[in-house]
Amino acid sequence: MTKTLRALMGATALATLAAVASAETTITVATVNNGDMVRMQGLMDDFYAKHPDIKVEWVTLEENVLRQNVTTDIATGGGQYDVITIGTYEVPIWGKQGWLESLNDLPADYDVDDLLPAIRGGLTVDGTLYASPFYGESSMVMYRKDLMEAAGLTMPEAPTWADIEAAAKAMTNRDADINGICLRGKAGWGENMAFLTAMSNSFGARWFDENWVPQFDQPEWKATLDFYLNLMNNYGPAGASNNGFNENLTLFNQGKCGMWIDATVAASFVTGKDSTVADKVGFALAPDNGLGKRGNWLWAWSLAIPASSDAKDAAKTFINWATNKDYLALVASKEGWANVPPGTRTSLYENPEYAKVPFAKMTIDSINSADPNSPTVKPVPYVGVQFVAIPEFQGLGTTVGEIFSAALAGSKTADEALAEAQAAVTEEMKAAGYIQ
Amino acid sequence: MARALSHRRMWITTAAAWAVALLIFFPVLWMILTSFKTEPSAVAMPPQFLSADWTLENYAEVWARSDYPRFFWNSVVIAVGSTLLGLVIAIPAAWAMAFVPGRKTKDLLMWMLSTKMMPAVAVMIPLYLIFQRLGLMDTRIGLVLVLMLMNLPIIVWMLYTYFKEIPGEILEAARMDGANLWNEIAHVLTPMALPGIASTMLLNIILAWNEAFWTIVLTTTRAAPLSAFIASFSAPQGLFYAKLSAASAMAILPILILGWFSQKQLVRGLTFGAVK
């Protein structure tokens, strides 16, 4: 009798354990390898303490590989991922396609109204929020205060391109291996074309007119490219056509750039422990040309749920945790305010503690000055500041990026590059059916 | 005089061989050195060697941030599994082509090899869909099948070359003694071609270990091998070259050791039949 009872009790215990085990939901999160994402993976104990019934498995990939894998999976309805890390380029396109789950029903403590309007706007399609921003960024000028002072110049808080050229000229010292300015030159829609498209907005240029006709044959693009090439040829580093974010970061940290115009997220790197000029860096808004638009971009790495996920509730729970105000406080308590993912919430920039971070104000001012729905001076039929949110843009941007990078390398003139870009984009837009 | 000339020629040839070997190995050497540097030291210009800041921190961080043993085990299973399965299929195929050739055997061999010239990305979507439908996504068996198919032409070609060197009379004698097809292949042909089979196996394990397209596209977490492990340390924004180098060194070290100890077989396999 006792034996039978023991056996029954044992069986019950096992069944209970099995039931508990089967109640656990596993979600797969696909993400990129950057400081903020790595930090989040280190803080998962907090999530598990609050949600012991959800297990998170990470797939960390290089940005382009992640984009390829996630696009393939989502387009084929694969359901390999429950949470994906995507940018402001993908969200409007994928949201419209019905590939993403709506996040309009996140709990009240998520406080959707606290999201920065510019960032929220870029992640919303027809009133539906399709992704929750994990960190947002714009671009700005990072400059060497000591070199500016030595040149007898002061960087305005909101410089013009003429100010930038004057500063680049004054700071260039080839004997000391100091380049007045470092900018992206490496070909790619997310590399040189992110910079040049944002820059062209401040020159009044646009990729397409209201009827989707390419505009590279217009004077605004010529002014943009001429200015960029002159600036880089006269005051930029050698071999600039191979330089992307990381290469310029290396040059700047080694004291070889007077200025660098790039992502606001770089601020924490150039003032960090790996920088030899950490205490000499100043920040300013991206330049303008007096036309009412600045040359800064807007980007947010955001978390979204593919429509094919079979663990949507658990995925929403995770997204709420990772992009909630409480998460920012958690990071601040463990790693300090300077390491909090920036650029997503209004409350962060109202926090007096965060206001002490040297690049906080410039980051929020840069983000607020970008408008993805009205990126340039003239009207456009597309959304996006440094990209055009149409599926064809990855290919178009890379093609034009290669042409402009070749112009920077000196293998073609600005006029030749613009004519080639116009022809290539026109052909592609005709093939895609946008124009006749 | 002739002896001095021959001696000098030997020195020149040896020096040239060392120079070429060092040139080829230099990127790997530099990667290993970088893995022991701090991040600023890793990207310093001009490149630092003796003056670099050396550290083991990169390895510690890479180990702490990822489940290396799981990636490693997946690589072992996928590389060895796909090679063994490939051999099981390729040995009879190569036997048939070497000893019972038909009019189209050469064409068939060329066609098999031509499939290697097709860019993998061209069949990505169809294969992805097939894997989804069959429930093979993120499974080791799925990758074993894909890598086996990918390397099968090379395995067949190499074995065909070895088998052609074995006199057909020996197999004929075995048949005369009453050996059936299985006994002929398993107990006569295979033992005689063992060195060739071993070098084919080694080369294909290396090819499968280093494969970094399908292993990343068709896996997420459970079956991801060391190629996915390396990819997880690549970053477009931020300087993580030293950590990426440490991850790469950890990924290639097992296969580097295997290659080192089996270099004789590998060289023999790759040069077999080259001089007649």
**What is the set of domains in chain B, with CATH numbers?**
30-271 (1.10.3720.10)
Structure tokens at B255: 């296969």
- pTM, rounded to two decimals: 0.83
How close, in Å, is residue A255 to chain B by CA atoms? 11
The neighbour count for residue A69, using CB atoms within 10 Å, is 24
Contact A60 B232 (CB under 8 A): yes
Do A417 and A404 form a contact (C-beta atoms < 8 A)? yes
**What DSSP line would sit under A162-206, residue for residue?**
HHHHHHHHHH-BGGGTBEEEE---S-STTTHHHHHHHHHHHTT--
Structure tokens at B117: 């010239």
Contact A274 B137 (CB under 8 A): no
Contact B220 A57 (CB under 8 A): yes
Whether the CB of A78 is below 8 Å from some CB of chain B: the reply is yes
Contact A274 B239 (CB under 8 A): yes
Q: At B243, which amino acid appears?
A: K
Structure tokens at A178: 């100091």
Do A229 and A407 form a contact (C-beta atoms < 8 A)? yes
Task: Summarize pLDDT for B39-52 with one digit per residue, the tens.
Answer: 888 888 788 877 77
Give how far Cα A148 sits from Cα of A160, A193, A288, Å.
16, 28, 19
Do B255 and B267 form a contact (C-beta atoms < 8 A)? no
Q: Which of A29, A43, A62 to mutate to test the interface with B (most CBs of B within 10 A)?
A: A62
Contact B234 A78 (CB under 8 A): no
User: Residue B234 burial (CB < 10 Å; 0-12/13-18/19+)?
Assistant: buried
N- to C-terminal Cα distance for chain A?
87
Q: For chain A, which domains are there?
A: 2-136+298-355 (3.40.190.10), 139-297+375-431 (3.40.190.10)
pLDDT at position B270 is 67
- Closest of A34, A273, A287 to residue A142, by C-alpha: A287
Mean pLDDT, chain B, rounded, equals: 88
Chain A residues in contact with B53 (beta carbon < 8 A)? none
Do A294 and A362 form a contact (C-beta atoms < 8 A)? no
pLDDT at position B273 is 54
What CA–CA distance (Å, rounded) separates A56 from A303?
A: 14
The conformational region for residue A47 under phi > 0 = left, psi -120 to 50 = alpha, else beta, is alpha
Q: Which of A26, A43, A64, A65 to mutate to test the interface with B (most CBs of B within 10 A)?
A: A65
β-pairing verdict for A298-304 and A83-86: antiparallel
Residue ranges in chain A whose pLDDT is less than 50 = 1, 17-21
Mean per-residue pLDDT for B16-33?
93
Q: At B126, which amino acid appears?
A: P
CA nearest to A177 within chain B: B45
Three-state DSSP state, A233:
helix
Do A264 and A360 form a contact (C-beta atoms < 8 A)? no
Residue B19: CB partners within 8 Å, gap ≥ 6?
A: none
N- to C-terminal Cα distance for chain B?
31
Structure tokens at A183: 């900018």
pLDDT at position A4 is 58
Do A56 and A29 form a contact (C-beta atoms < 8 A)? yes
Per the DSSP assignment, residues forming a β-bridge with A143 are: A259, A282
Widest pairwise Cα distance in chain A: 96
Residue B194 pLDDT level (bands cut at 50, 70, 90)? confident
Whether the CB of A168 is below 8 Å from some CB of chain B: the reply is no
- Residues B99-138 as b or e (16 or more Cβ within 10 Å = b): beeeeeeeeebeebeeeeeeeeeeebeebbeebbeeebbb
Q: At A158, which amino acid appears?
A: A
Chain B residues in contact with A80 (beta carbon < 8 A)? 137-138, 220
**Residues, chain B, total?**
276
Three-state DSSP state, A257:
strand
Contact A269 B239 (CB under 8 A): yes
Q: Which helix (H) or strand (E) holds B133?
A: helix B124-134
Contact B237 A274 (CB under 8 A): no
What CA–CA distance (Å, rounded) separates A318 from A83?
A: 8
| Percent of chain B surpassing pLDDT 90 | 52
What CA–CA distance (Å, rounded) separates A377 from B119?
A: 43
User: Residue B51 burial (CB < 10 Å; 0-12/13-18/19+)?
Assistant: exposed
β-pairing verdict for A132-144 and A257-263: antiparallel
How close, in Å, is residue B223 to chain A by CA atoms? 11
Give how far Cα A79 sits from Cα of A22, A29, A100, B129, B246, Å.
20, 11, 11, 12, 32
Q: Does residue A214 have a cis bond before it (omega within 30 degrees)?
A: no
Residue B65: CB partners within 8 Å, gap ≥ 6?
A: A38, A41
What CA–CA distance (Å, rounded) separates A106 from A85?
A: 17
Task: Summarize pLDDT for B117-173 with one digit per residue, the tens.
Answer: 888 888 999 999 999 999 999 999 999 999 999 999 999 999 998 898 888 888 888
Sign of CA dihedral A280, A271, A401, A197: negative
How close, in Å, is residue A78 to chain B by CA atoms? 6
Sign of CA dihedral A334, A340, A341, A346: positive
Chain B residues in contact with A250 (beta carbon < 8 A)? 43, 45, 239
Contact A249 B239 (CB under 8 A): yes
What CA–CA distance (Å, rounded) separates B274 from B276?
A: 7
pLDDT at position B276 is 44
pLDDT at position B191 is 87
Place of tokens 């893995």: B35
pLDDT at position B137 is 93
Angle (nearest 5°) at CA A390 between A387 and A394: 60
CA nearest to B241 within chain A: A246
pLDDT at position A32 is 87
Interface predicted TM-score of the whole assembly (ipTM), two decimals = 0.78
What CA–CA distance (Å, rounded) separates B20 from A301?
A: 45
- Closest of B85, B72, B32 to residue B209, by C-alpha: B72
Structure tokens at A330: 């958690």
pLDDT at position A14 is 52
- Of the candidates A28, A41, A72, the beta carbon closest to that of B125 is on A72
Do A223 and A200 form a contact (C-beta atoms < 8 A)? no
Place of tokens 């005089």: B1
Place of tokens 């098999």: B112
Place of tokens 């290993």: B32
Contact A62 B138 (CB under 8 A): no
Mean per-residue pLDDT for B70-89?
96
Structure tokens at B184: 């002929």
